[in-house]
Amino acid sequence: MDSQPGSRVVVRRAAITLAVFVAGLIVAGRITRVVVDWLWFASIGYADVFWTVFSAKVLLFIAVFAASSGVIAASGFVAHRYARRPGSWQVEAARLSGPPEFISELADQLAPRIRWRASIAGSAIALGLIVAASDISNWDLVLRFLHQVPYGERDPVFGRDISFYLFSLPAYLVLKNWLLQLVFLSAIVAGLVYGLRGDITFERPPRGLSAPATIHASALLGAFFVVKAWSYTLDRFLLLYGDNGVVVGAGYTDVHVVLPVLWVLTGFALVAAVASWVNMRRLDYRIPAASVLLVFGTSFVFAVIYPALFERFYVKPSELQLEMPYIKHNIALTRMAYGLSQIEVKPFPAGQELSLTSLEANRATIDNIRLWDVQPLMDTYAQLQEIRTYYKFLSVDIDRYRLDSGYRQVMLSARELAPSMLSANAQTWVNLHLLFTHGNGVVMSPVTEKSPEGLPSFYLQDIPPVAHGGPMIREPRLYFGEGGEGYVIVKGSVPEFDYPRGKDNVYTTYSGRDGIAIGSMARRSLFAWHFGDLNILLTGYITNASRILLHRNIQDRVRTIAPFLRLDHDPYLVTSNGRLFWMQDAYTTSSWFPYAQADFDNGANTIRNAVKVVIDAYNGTVDFYVSDPADPILRTYQRIFPGLFKPLAAMPQDLQQHIRYPEDLFQVQAQLYRAYHMDAPEVFYNREDLWQFPRELVGIDGGNSPGTPMTPYYMIMRLPHESREEFVLMLPMVPSQRDNMIAWLAARCDPPNYGKLIVYSFPKDKLVYGPFQIEARIQQNTEISQQISLWNQMGSRVIRGHLLVVPIENSLLYVSPLYLRAESGQLPELKRVIAAYGDRVVMKETLGEALAALFEESTPLASPPQGTADARAREALAHYDRAIARLKAGDWSGFGAELDALRPLLEALGGGRSDGRQ
């Protein structure tokens, strides 16, 4: 019999011990993470950023926890104080002076009361911790509220500065929700106390609530109605985010019906609050019941049913007339939110005056027409330049460089390390974290050139990087990149693998700035605990000079420092002064811009490319440069983090030459501009001039017949009426439900015109072929379709490249590459170039031949320079080696083909070319 209580005690102690142990592990993990984060932020020079965020989180947690626990505990203690009790406290107090047995009896009765207080306090603390933990993520919102700057524009309904909506309104809504949460939790705790003490009964008389419980409930109900009244006043501003299908923002019904109704509901809620507090003396259940019915009943009738009937029977019959002012608000503020109001509109005649002479006058544009698509080129890079299985090209970037051959658009890719590609036996802890630590080099090729076999020409190639007309690379190692998952330890006793050289390997030691010292036993223990990796503690390869590199993925690195910035999907690699850098575009966004259409993919309704981030691929340094100093959201963050952002002028001049207009922002702006280029409310309402993205046929066999939406693309070109070529991002536009072109949108990337957007609109009385119509003409061309069918029947697969619309002067040229890939191979070759102009479509081996045939000239337009003599010599040697291999294999036709390809290269090297190239 006595063993049961003892066993329960043992079980209880074991449960408490386990709970304490688990809680200790959680706390230790949290502390470890904070210490590691602090060490990392300090190592990269952003300790102030860490402390700003950390102190904001801690202070917010403490404030919310203290207030929440205090309010909930107060509610519970009040309930405990006035709830029914078995016996009178006065009687118990009188017995204190009585015989000793009364004192023992009183102690027995006091123990439950002590446990009650402890339970209430414990519940309040637990609930306070939960509430505070859930609200800690609002640190960013609180700091923006406290450091907000004015926007300088006002909303058209309430006349408030837009900064109120961006910074204050979200904070007020969070505060309102927290107050409602407190009232709800306080009521639950008090209700449990009253229920357990017998003050709430429904099974035996007297049914219902006792007098103390009724008083308490009335007080909490009054507090709820006060918060509800404030909620109705905030709901007025939320009208500016509605969408009735015609207007995004407040429409006619919202302004003339819902807004007055919300004022009425605010008054009803305040009346209900006063009535509830009066009921603390009246103790009549009908008063709170009437209060609830008054607030929620009238809310349903006046805020739901009445506006719906008004909208249907009054607004809909005269919708355009009544909604016109609000459509204007929607158009104006959406254009403001996305920077569409800054777009300059210019006419584009779309004439038919092109000739070889005019093409020669626009040689810079012709020499930079992109014939290599990203995916075929990345497949080709992988086959030709990955060198070893543990290297990988993760993406191909597009940029421009001023080289000896001129202003060139190039495609380049970093050769990054992919430890997961090591053989299974080689994936040891030492290899993954100490030996294989970095990628090596970059591959660069011009966008237009190809070898006779249809492979890309290389400006940069091999390991270490060898330049053939491209920029020299002095430091090719990439410790930080688009891969870079996991940590590595450098400066250990084992040298780091650098690159393969024949049968041997070359090794190196990291000498960059990044890393946290990990030589001491305390640091090793810290990181072993943090990563759950005992090898860090046990290995003998770590020395006193060793450092650990964290957050090596560049986007993870930037997000860790500045989690409030949204990043463009495509960071791109830049070579500058012999070093490698990553450039990452970053955006400030918000979902609280009034009257603005939300972005279809991300839900934000304002966006600015406010920051350019530069990450050193070797040192890991991260610099944030302000590219839009007028952005109010960024100016607010500059107040919060005064040492984080630098002026754009502080960026090295060579890197400034590689700033480009980001594709994600351009895509969002183009998507919205399809409708919001219509600034007349009547036209916007009827969607009379809605635009769409063109369709194109891409991929194997031309892709799917319905086509895929065209995406923006970069190119070097001379804009109409401009004096020189420049790097632009552009996208054609077609009318809704039609395929003819109606306009093209361009974003300028080069200084001093960086960031300017231009729309070139076509005459409405002229038919201009759109991309999908050109695709149809290509499909219908007998010569082209027969050749494609023949290739597909010979064990090869034809891959259609992207169709580029190339504006030249006042005309449009269409160019599309065509690739050939063996059915079982992974090496696409650029075999043909398709060009179209007006009603003509041709397909030739080179762009120059295609343009000559297109304009019915006998002399092909000279192809762009094919690189240096050294590059041609290596190419000739490669043909010679392949010819000897074919000869040894008895492949006479292959031997002859290689010799035929070798001859023009040897003639060029001997100066025998007639086109003037050396």
Residue 675 and residue 677: Cα distance in Å, rounded? 6
User: 385 burial class (0-12, 13-18, 19+ CB within 10 angstroms)?
Assistant: buried
Contact indicator for 850, 834 with CB cutoff of 8 Å: yes
The confidence score (pLDDT) of residue 917 equals 35
Backbone angles phi, psi at 732, to 5 degrees: -75, 160
From residue 123, alpha-carbon distances to 330, 383, 792 in Å are 49, 64, 73
Is residue 131 a contact partner of residue 65, using CB atoms and an 8 Å limit?
Answer: yes
pLDDT > 70 in the chain, percent:
89
- Sheet containing 488-490: give its strands across: 488-490, 547-549, 516-517
One-character DSSP codes across 396-432: -EEEEEEETTEEEEEEEEEEEE-GGGS-GGG--HHII
- Indicate whether 562 pLDDT > 60: yes
Q: Give dist(CA 173, CA 241) in Å, integer.
A: 14
Per-residue pLDDT, averaged over 836-846, amounts to 93
pLDDT digits (tens, 9 = 90+) for 76-121: 999 988 887 543 333 444 444 445 555 455 445 556 667 888 889 9
Q: What span, in angstroms and rounded, lies between the C-alpha atoms of 159 and 560?
A: 37
Asked if pLDDT for residue 559 goes beyond 70, the answer is yes
Q: What is the tens place of the pLDDT at every residue in 157-200?
A: 999 999 999 999 999 999 999 999 999 999 999 999 998 888 88
Please name the residues in contact with 374: beta carbons below 8 A apart, sequence gap of 6 or more.
395, 396, 411
Least confident among 38-47, 88-97, 101-110, 735-744 = 88-97
User: What pLDDT, on the 0 to 100 scale, is given for residue 886?
Assistant: 58
What pLDDT score does 201 carry? 79
Helix (H) or strand (E) holding 848: helix 847-854
Model confidence, pTM: 0.88
Residue 857 in this model has a pLDDT that exceeds 60: no
Q: What is the pLDDT of residue 876?
A: 72
Residue 438 confidence (pLDDT)? 96
- Which three-class secondary structure string do you get for 334-361? HHHHCCHHHCEEEECCCCCCCCHHHHHH
Q: What pLDDT was estimated at residue 865?
A: 54
Mean pLDDT throughout 719-742? 94
**Helical axes 771-780 vs 782-792, angle rounded to 10°:** 70
Task: Give pLDDT tens digits for 518-553.
Answer: 999 999 999 999 999 999 999 999 999 999 999 999
> Could you report the per-residue pLDDT of 334-356, keeping only the tens digit for each?
999 999 999 999 999 998 889 88
Instruction: Give 150's contacts (C-beta < 8 A, 6+ positions apart).
Output: 161, 163, 632
pLDDT reading at 866 higher than 60: no
Torsion of CA 317, 322, 328, 333, to 10 degrees: -90
User: What does the chain come to in residues?
Assistant: 918
Q: Whose structure tokens read 């007025």?
A: 236
Separation between Cα atoms, residue 891 and residue 896, nearest integer Å: 9
Intra-chain end-to-end CA distance of the chain, in Å: 106
CA distance 490 to 639: 37
pLDDT one-digit tens code per residue, 471-494: 999 999 999 999 988 999 999 999
* 3-class SS letters over 567-602: ECCCCEEEEECCEEEEEEEEEEEECCCCCCCCCCCC
Q: Is 468 left (phi over 0), alpha (psi -120 to 50) or beta?
A: beta
pLDDT on residue 892: 47
pLDDT digits (tens, 9 = 90+) for 748-797: 999 999 999 999 999 988 899 999 999 999 989 999 989 988 888 877 88
Phi-psi region of 100 (alpha: psi -120 to 50; beta: other; left: phi over 0): alpha
Between residues 895 and 229, the one the model is more confident about: 229
Give me 162's structure tokens. Answer: 């837009």
The DSSP H or E segment spanning 695 is strand 695-696
Calpha distance 561→48 (Å, rounded): 11
CB 338 within 8 A of CB 607: yes
Non-local (6+) Cβ contacts of 208 within 8 A are 200, 201, 202, 285
Q: Write out pLDDT tens, residues 374-423.
A: 999 999 999 999 989 999 999 999 999 999 989 999 999 999 999 889 98
Which one has a higher pLDDT value, 902 or 53? 53
pLDDT higher at 865 or 312: 312
Distance CA 289, CA 305 (A): 22
Q: How far is it, in rounded angstroms, from Cα 445 to Cα 461? A: 9
Residue 4, pLDDT above cutoff 90: no
- Strand-pair partners of 345: 759
Inform me whether the pLDDT recorded for 2 exceeds 60: no
Better pLDDT: 794 or 248: 248
Cross-strand partners of 731: 745
Q: Would you put residue 825 in left (φ > 0), alpha (ψ -120 to 50) or beta?
A: beta
Rounded distance between C-alpha atoms, residue 588 and residue 562, angstroms: 11
Q: Please report the sign of the dihedral spanned by the C-alpha atoms of residue 461, residue 465, residue 469, residue 473.
A: positive
Q: What DSSP designation does 301 have?
A: I
Q: Does the structure show a pLDDT above 90 at 912?
A: no
Mean pLDDT score of the chain, rounded to an integer? 89
Round to whole Å and give the CA distance between 853 and 867.
Answer: 25
Residues 546, 441: contact at Cβ < 8 Å? Answer: no
pLDDT in tens, 19-34: 777 777 778 888 999 9
Q: Is the pLDDT of residue 45 over 70?
A: yes
HSE-up (13 A, CA, CB side) for residue 708: 12
Strands 622-626 and 645-647: parallel
C-alpha torsion 49→51→52→53, nearest 10: 90
Residue 624 has what pLDDT?
Answer: 98
Q: What is the spatial distance between Cα 440 and Cα 45, in angstroms, rounded to a whole number? A: 26
Token pair, residue 388, equals 């070893």
pLDDT at position 449, please? Answer: 93
Burial class of residue 796, CB neighbours in 10 A (0-12, 13-18, 19+): middle
Most confident among 423-432, 556-565, 689-698, 719-728 (mean pLDDT): 556-565
- Determine the Cα–Cα distance for residues 18 and 22; give it in Å rounded to an integer: 6
Which region among 49-63, 644-658, 689-703, 808-822 has the lowest average model confidence (pLDDT)? Answer: 689-703
SS3 550: coil
